[in-house]
Amino acid sequence: MTDYAPPLKEMQFVLDHVAGLGAIASLPGYGEATPDLAAAILEEGGKFAAQVLAPLNATGDAAGVQLENGVLTTPEGFPAAYRAFVEAGWPALQFDPDHGGQGLPWLLSTAAMELWNSANLSFALCPMLTQGAAEMLALYGTEEQKRVYLPRMVSGAWTGTMNLTEPQAGTDLGEIRARAEPAGDGRFRIKGQKIFITFGEHDMAENIVHMVLARLPDGPKGVRGISLFLVPKYLPDGEGRPGERNDLRCLSAEDKLGIHAAPTCIMAFGEGEGAIGWLVGEENQGLAHMFAMMNNERLAVGLQGVAIMERAYQQAVGFARERIQGRDEATGEPGAPIIRHADVRRMLLTMRAKAEAGRALAYAAAAMLDTARRHPDEAVQREEAALVEFLTPIVKAWPTDAAVETASIGIQVHGGMGFIEETGAAQHYRDARILPIYEGTNGIQARDLVGRKVLRDGGETARSFLARLRKGEESLAPFQDPAVAAIRARLVDGIDALSEATEWLLHAGKDDPRRSMAAAAPYLSLAGTVAGAWLLGRGAAAAHQSLDSDAADRPFLEAKITTARFFAEHLLPPAIALRDTIARGSDPVLALAEDAF
């Protein structure tokens, strides 16, 4: 099994030259995000990830979690690692200093989150969910709720969960049945069952704060009658310490394909008199509150895809360097490591290029989010906010689909050894498979992209995204370098294809919305690949500009350019052809009689 080596140089490059950390650091309130601080976070975070979290990844997978009499035990080493994680202050990076946070840009916390997720996807889910719950509380909680809960959640001392799904209510949350009855004292009694609750119960922190969607007795039917409640495992006592146990428990932990070290719980609320909860935000606005936070969670899941790609890539490269088999294809010498075989190089480059494209997308989206929040010019805020909304389903879905594919290629590089669990490649293939599913399936992301982001405003945002792509392509024009020129040429083809596909959607969507929905997934795939090529092209141009001035980094910079060229010339063409899949191949999707399936 290959150790995890945090790709610090690559991460720093993407922060600086693709996402534009310099511009982010110049935004009001982000002045502390200096290059030095960024380097220190990557360096120290990388050590923590590699030395503390990564060694627990395979052991945690093998051990899984144990549930006995409602007590859930995480794998050996997890509670101690989590304590160390909290003590080091890692959960607090992007939170408001008023609540104990460090007030750093999302862009930097995104880079840190990549480290945790590459090192140990199961472990990283716990802080990821906690941060989501904390953000929601920061946005919608009362002053009293914020006072009691926020500092403890921001520090990570208490963890958080999201309780949305019920057996009959997955994608369609309007079907939620959990109920909340006023207790008369301003509190509520929550009753109901929730499923798929990640870290719903565990032994890593002294309290767990559940954010629960439930219905008030007089709430309207459907999605407009759902409210959000804060339901802690232990009710805080007068001094804010965990006190009385609340009426909720984990009924069972699912036996899953992957992320074995992350408990996925069936939670029962209110088997007795009802779990005590507090309303968060406005009555019947629970879904709206949840979705305000969910966009960030979707970006975080996309980043998990990047993280798994990186880890699977490192595992595959490590094996390909060590495994001796066959002859060197260039020299004919026997006893060559398989990395010398052209087809193995092709597989490794595919993994690498997709990981780099995914990282560029995730970091760029984080930078847009920071700009949308802090830019002094409100017009820029609006523009960036619209763009990051457009990109959110793409950043969630494209890198997570790519992660499944990449983890699969990672096994293939290992040959027979990849199928043996001990090697470690198989875990990534199993773990990655959840990513296109949770926080809204990738089908839902595609529907969101086409329905809400392209069609709803008549293509306005999509066209402004295309204009930004064109600007990116034009900025490559001055480069004489044949690799950059080749990237630009393919990128132009890609933008043309995306533009035509967008116009087709706008046309087809008017005739019959189902036609555009049939095309949604290929459209997202096309958009994601073109966006990846755009940002890799930006990186290649920056690398080219540094080539002469930075002799020490020459091999790294040349690799950036070659990888971007591989992406554009090798991986982009089939995505470009999705234009034809969309235009011609959407009607057959609807043509088969339902009984004939």
CB 309 within 8 A of CB 402: yes
Residue 40 vs 324, nearer CB to its own copies: 324
**323 in helix, strand or coil?**
coil
Token pair 């949305």 is at which residue?
A: 164
Beta carbon nearer to its own copies, 138 or 409: 409
Q: Which of 347, 391, 395, 476 binds its own copies (CB under 8 A)?
A: 347
Q: Which of residues 558-597 bind its own copies (CB under 8 A)?
A: 558-559, 562-563, 565-566, 569-571, 573-581, 584-597
Tell me how far apart the alpha carbons of residues 336 and 246 are, in angstroms, rounded to a whole number: 62
Size of the site for its own copies (CB under 8 A): 101
**Closer residue to its own copies, CB minimum distance, 241 or 456:** 456
Beta strands 158-163 and 207-215, pairing class: parallel
Alpha carbon distance 360, 211 (integer Å): 32
Judged by CB under 8 A, does residue 84 bind its own copies? Answer: no
Element (H, E) at 162: strand 158-163
How far is it, in rounded angstroms, from Cα 14 to Cα 365?
12
| Nearer residue to its own copies within complex by CB, 29 or 337 | 337
C-alpha distance across the termini of the chain, in Å: 43
d(CA 108, CA 93): 8
**595: which DSSP letter?**
G
Name residue 163's beta-bridge partners: 212
CA distances in angstroms from 10 to 14, 32, 368, 496, listed in the order given: 6, 22, 20, 30
Backbone angles phi, psi at 321, to 5 degrees: -75, -30
Kindly tell me which residue out of 304, 442, 461, 502 binds its own copies, with binding defined by CB under 8 A: 442
d(CA 122, CA 536): 29
Q: Which residues contact 46 (CB under 8 A, 6 or more apart)?
A: 6, 8, 115
235 binds its own copies (CB under 8 A): no
Query: Binding to its own copies by residue 451, rule CB under 8 A?
Result: no
Binding residue (CB under 8 A) for its own copies from 9, 224, 346, 471: 346
88 sits near its own copies (criterion: CB under 8 A):
no
Q: Does 426 help bind its own copies (rule: CB under 8 A)? A: yes
Candidates 144-152, 297-305, 354-362, 438-446: pick the segment binding its own copies (CB under 8 A).
Answer: 438-446
Q: How far is the CB of 339 from its own copies (least distance, A)?
A: 6
C-beta separation of 162 from 129 below 8 A = yes
Smallest gap from Cβ 285 to its own copies, in A, equals: 21
What's the closest the beta carbon of residue 62 comes to its own copies, in angstroms? 9
Closest to its own copies by CB, 371 or 525: 525
Binds its own copies by CB under 8 A, chosen from 76, 98, 254, 273: 254
Q: Of 286 and 424, which CB lies nearer to its own copies in the complex structure?
A: 424
The set of residues, in sequence order, having a beta carbon less than 8 Å from that of 5 and lying 6+ positions away, is: 50, 314
Would you count residue 118 as binding its own copies (CB under 8 A)?
A: no
Residue 419 makes contact with its own copies by CB under 8 A: yes
- The amino acid sitting at 576 is I
The site map against its own copies for 459-498 (x = CB under 8 A) is: ---------------------------x---x--------
Residue 324 beta carbon to its own copies: minimum distance, rounded to whole angstroms? 7
Q: Which of 243/326 has CB closer to its own copies?
A: 326
276 part of the interface to its own copies, by CB under 8 A: no
Q: How far apart are CA 531 and CA 466, in angstroms?
A: 10
Helix H, strand E, coil C: the string for 173-225 is: HHHCCCEEEECCCCCEEEEEEEEEEECCCCCCCCEEEEEEEEECCCCCCHHHH
**Which residue carries 């080539």 as its tokens?**
547
**Catalytic one among 166, 310, 439, 473?**
439
Residues 281-320 touching its own copies, rule: CB under 8 A, are 317, 320
CB of 11 within 8 A of CB of 114? yes
Q: Report the amino acid identity of residue 507.
A: H
Site string for its own copies, 174-213 (x = CB under 8 A): -x-------------------xx-----------------
Q: Which of residues 514-543 bind its own copies (CB under 8 A)?
A: 514-515, 517-518, 520-522
For its own copies, which stretch binds (CB under 8 A), given 79-87, 126-134, 224-232, 553-561?
553-561
Binding mask 382-411 for its own copies (x = CB under 8 A): ----------------------x---x--x
Q: Find the binder of its own copies among 238, 330, 379, 549 (CB under 8 A).
A: 330
Contacting its own copies (CB under 8 A), which of 75, 151, 242, 258?
A: 258
* CA 253/CA 256 separation, integer angstroms: 9
Identify the three-state secondary structure at position 440: coil
Give every CB contact of residue 65 below 8 A, 6+ residues apart in sequence.
Answer: 72, 73, 74, 75, 202, 253, 260, 261, 262, 263
Which CB atom, from 39 or from 257, has the smaller least distance to its own copies? 257
Of 378, 416, 478, 480, the residue at the interface with its own copies (CB under 8 A) is 416
**Interface residues for its own copies in 153-172 (CB under 8 A)?**
165, 168, 170-172
Q: Shortest approach of its own copies to residue 311 CB, angstroms?
A: 15
Q: How far is the CB of 270 from its own copies (least distance, A)?
A: 23
Residue 245 or 321 with smaller CB distance to its own copies: 321
Residue 439 bears catalytic tag: yes
SS3 assignment, position 253: strand
**Which listed range, 12-20, 379-387, 513-521, 540-548, lies at the site for its own copies (CB under 8 A)?**
513-521
**Closer residue to its own copies in complex, CB, 503/569:** 569
Binding part of the chain for its own copies, among 74-82, 87-95, 302-310, 335-343 by CB under 8 A, reads 335-343
- Residue matched to tokens 């840190």: 112
Provide the β-strand partners of residue 267: 194, 250
- Name residues whose C-beta falls within 8 Å of residue 388's C-beta, 6 or more positions apart in sequence: 365, 368, 369, 372
515 alpha-carbon distance from chain centroid: 29
Q: Residue 257, interface with its own copies (CB under 8 A)?
A: yes
Q: Active-site residue numbers? A: 439
